[in-house]
Amino acid sequence: MTDISALQASILADVAAAADEASLETVRVGALGKKGSVSALLAGLGKMSPDERKSEGAKINLVKDAVAGAIAQRRAALKEAALEARLAGERLDVTLPAREQGASLGRVHPISQVMDELAAIFADMGFSIAEGPDIETDDYNFTKLNFPPDHPAREMHDTFFFEPDAHGRRKLLRTHTSPVQVRAMLTKAPPIRVICPGRTYRCDSDQTHTPMFHQVEGLVVDRSSHLGHLKWILEEFLKAFFETKSVSLRFRPSYFPFTEPSMEVDVRCSRKGGEIRFGEGDDWLEILGCGMVHPNVLRNCGLDPAEYQGFAWGVGIDRLAMLKYGLPDLRAFFEADVRWLKHYGFRPLDFPTLAGGLSAP
């Protein structure tokens, strides 16, 4: 019967044209479902004579089998194609290097690194960290630190002053971290053991000076603090910081208004091949200023010099970073060049610790 073979041809064409499993299912329901075209033919058999039923039944069943077979084949092919497409889409080359992202991309600036190292070293010796504001009063930056009014040292500091207020008082950008000593003595009761890292400002700019730079101040006040303690602390600090077994120090008399006696400290080093190495050689490198806290400073900060004595020191952090990490030009520190930071910076999750290594590789 041409009807039946035309129907079969049309269903098979639909099966072949079905682009996905959903449209194939629509074709199946249209042909073999309860109300499908092939099922309708089968339902018609009941009205036929037994002979007709036999011959027509056989033909219709052939169509049914052909359609069912074609659908099964097409479904398998579509499944396979879908799987292929998914596998191609999810393809991953596990041999490629992992892309750097997030925390591993950033770098810690050498100055922040050195500050973290200082914190680790001095925390281990029982010091805590004290901070003060960058904008200071003349009183804390100079007067309480025993700089007499109109003393030339005030000018030596190349101070950035703000406009005077209604009372004629000028605030300033602190020229050193020493005013944080004053703040510590005014707010803490002895024994005091603090380091004060932070930004400092002087109107000065060349290869080794920038208008903003960093210092760390150290202060110890107790009933019996003496220069022997200071010497030991500085030696331990420099050994730990420069990661050398020994250092030798030379104390030279100097002058600071806030200490008496005042000293400058040189570290023994060698400069062979233009490279500075500590703990060897016959050369000396000036590294910091220090002294016993002047009785006037103690008094200005409410402490009785007959009862308490202390010592203090001040170091340039930028210089420490340059010396330790071989950084040639101070100005590059503040240029915010990511290529420089990528080269000289430190991985953010490698915290410096005394036990785990200060300058992680």
CA-based diameter of the chain, in Å? Answer: 133
- For ligand DAH, which is the closer residue by CB, 25 or 260? 260
- By beta-carbon proximity to ligand DAH, the closer residue of 201 and 344 is 201
Distance in Å, CB of 217 to ligand DAH, minimum: 5
| Residue from 31, 121, 172, 290 binding ligand DAH (CB under 6 A) | 290
Give CA–CA dist 217/118, Å, rounded: 11
CA dihedral 336, 341, 343, 344 (to 10 degrees): 110
- Give dist(CA 106, CA 109) in Å, integer: 10
Q: Which of 179, 198, 289, 310 binds ligand DAH (CB under 6 A)?
A: 289
Minimum CB–partner distance for residue 194 and ligand DAH (Å): 11
CB closer to ligand DAH, 80 vs 286 = 286
Nearer to ligand DAH, 37 or 143 (CB): 143
CB of 107 to ligand DAH, least distance (A): 29
How far apart CA 287 and CA 197 sit, in angstroms, is 16
Each residue 176-215 as x (binds ligand DAH by CB under 6 A) or -, in order, gives x-x-------------------------------------
User: How many residues at the interface with ligand DAH, by CB under 6 A?
Assistant: 11
Q: What does DSSP say about strands 128-129 and 192-201: parallel, antiparallel, or unpaired?
A: parallel
- Alpha-carbon torsion (35, 38, 40, 43), positive or negative: negative
DSSP for 278-304 reads: ESSSSEEEEEEEEEEEPHHHHHHTT--
Closest to ligand DAH by CB, 60 vs 195, is 195
Least distance (Å) from ligand DAH to the CB of residue 264? 8
How far apart, in whole angstroms, are the C-alpha atoms of residue 94 and residue 91?
A: 9
What are the b/e assignments for 39-54, b being 16+ CB within 10 Å? bebbeeeeeeeeeeee
Give SS3 for 29: helix
Residue list 230-269, contact with ligand DAH (CB under 6 A): 256, 259
Residues 331/207, Cβ–Cβ less than 8 Å: yes
Site string for ligand DAH, 300-329 (x = CB under 6 A): ------------xxx---------------
CB of 360 to ligand DAH, least distance (A): 29
Phi, psi of 163 (to 5 degrees): -65, 140
In the complex, minimum distance from the CB of residue 315 to ligand DAH, in angstroms, rounded to a whole number = 8
Nearest approach in angstroms of CB 200 to ligand DAH is 7
Give the binding site for ligand DAH (CB under 6 A): 176, 178, 217, 256, 259, 289-291, 312-314
